[in-house]
Amino acid sequence: MYAALSDLRGRLQARDAVRFLGYAAQQASAKSLADWSDRVLPPSAIRGALLPTNQKKVE
């Protein structure tokens, strides 16, 4: 996940981390998964947030 969010020099920008957490939180609130009720961000929300975060990074 770190490699997907970092830039070409391997640095993680704060704006990308915040954007990623925002997208993951949106996806987590849209889904109700009983198996992951003890987690703030279920794994599926984290995986689903990578693509929109990277697309926004390219813009």
Q: What is the pLDDT along the chain (59 residues), one digit of tens a residue?
A: 788 888 888 898 899 999 999 999 998 888 766 777 788 888 889 999 999 998 887 76
Cα gap 21→46, rounded to integer Å = 8
CB 12 within 8 A of CB 6: yes
- Of 55, 54, 44, 42, give the one whose Cα is nearest residue 4: 54
Tell me, what's the pLDDT at 5? 85
**pTM higher than 0.85, yes or no?**
no
The total number of structural domains that make up the chain:
1
Report the amino acid identity of residue 50. L
- pLDDT, residue 18, reads 94
pLDDT given for residue 4 in this prediction: 82
Q: Which residue range is the domain that position 37 belongs to?
A: 2-58
